[in-house]
Structure 1
Amino acid sequence: MITEDSEFLKGVKEDDNSSFKAIYEKYSRDLFVYAYNIIKEKTVCEDIIQEVFISLWAKRKTTTITSLKPYLFQAVKFQIFNHFRNNKFSREDLTRLNIIDVSMNVSQKLEYSELDQIIRDHVAKLPKRCRHIFVLSRYHHKSNKEIADELEISVQAVKNQISKALAFLRNNLQLEEVAFISLILLQ
């Protein structure tokens, strides 16, 4: 089955401006809201979203994207990290953001991989339904409404399960682990 996003991506690779515009119109607002929930500065967030779409267009011939929405959210995460890396921020900000540098050296990448595995191990300990909802939210970047519709439950039930998962993870991860996890605990 060919998805709308894959058709848009095909068009972008073929220099179709209308496909690019369709992707922008479909995702820019959600990406902006996501960035704004972290940074809280409108102009910075607008710049980040603009940079993500400029990069998407510039790399259209050389980048293979299998899933557009996760790709775009990951690109925003990277730009957010760059923003904070290039500006001074406190340990409290780091803990609140739960961010890592995706352009780190090999030893840091190994450390991140270990931390990521610790988090995934803790996520695996969540009750099945809670884990499923958390994974849809944090790893597949689905909105609470999308999850509720998909699982045929209320939005409030989704929120409750995500809160339960976050509380479990916060209570079971060491402070230094929490300080470096990659945006999955971000509310």
Structure 2
Amino acid sequence: MKMITEDIELLNGMKEDNNASFRAVYEKYSKVLFVYAFNIIKERTICEDIIQEVFISLWAKRKTTNISALKPYLFQAVKFQVFNHFRNNKLSTEDLTRLNIIDVSMNVSGELEYSELNQIIRDHVAKLPKRCRHIFVLSRYHHKSNKEIAEELQISVQAVKNQISKALAFLRNHLQLEEAVIISLILLH
């Protein structure tokens, strides 16, 4: 709870044009966001640009954007920038698999906007078995480590890994079906 309170105070400081609050947010989250992007893209300069763009946008929108949870907001912003990078550079399927959840559906990214794709993924996540879905949401949307999830749910780290693998396999299979339907619809028009 302390972290959330601290983040709210930093966001309020930013809304009041407090540069120290912005620097504190940057110092607190930039490295972990960089690692997150780097694990997907594997190119330092591109990841640095993505992180810079996220923080420039955060500062530019500091007075108009209502952010209730800073950490998930920043991770979502990085995910969006990574998506844009892949879409704009028309990378191969092998590159796209690094996105884990969105991998197969990215092939039709020209036809789907990020928000639509995100909603499709969330719809499929909702179809996961309850325990699997809970673990997956903690991992991917709340950015908790396998160890943190295991401790919270009082299960083994291996059980967490198994559930996440199960969820990813389910999503890949269903997103492949979704992609086939979308491609069919595109070809029919």
Q: TM-score, normalised by structure 2?
A: 0.75
The correspondence for 2:128, drawn from 116, 123, 126, is: 126
Paired residues, number? 174
How many Å apart are 1:72 and its aligned residue?
0.5
Aligned to 1:145: 147
- Aligned CA RMSD, in angstroms, stands at 3.1
What SS does the corresponding residue of 2:142 show, helix, strand or coil? coil
The residue aligned with 2:35 is 33
Q: Which residue of 2 aligns with 1:93?
A: 95
| Residue of structure 2 aligned with 1:116, choices 119, 139, 144 | 119
Q: Which has the higher contact order (CA 8 A, sep 6+)?
A: 1
Gapped regions of structure 2 (runs ≥ 5): 183-189
Query: Letter of the aligned partner of 1:37 in structure 2?
Result: N
Task: Show structure 1 runs of 5+ residues with no match.
Answer: 181-187
* Structure 2 residue 58 is the aligned partner of structure 1 residue 47: no
Per-residue deviation at 1:109?
A: 4.9
- The whole-number CA distance in structure 2 between the counterparts of 1:90 and 1:110 is 18
How big is the shift at 1:144?
2.2
**Structure 1 residue 169 corresponds to structure 2 residue 171:** yes
Distance in 1 (CA, whole Å) between partners of 2:90 and 2:126 is: 35
> Which amino acid counterpart does residue 116 of structure 1 have in structure 2?
Q
Cα deviation 1:79-99 (Å, max 9, x = unaligned):
212222332412443455326
Q: CA deviation at 1:173?
A: 4.1
1:66 aligned partner: 68
| Structure 2 residue 33 is matched with structure 1 residue 22 | no
Kindly state the Cα deviation for residue 176 of structure 1 after the two structures are TM-superposed.
4.8
Q: Distance in 1 between matches of 2:147 and 2:27?
A: 19
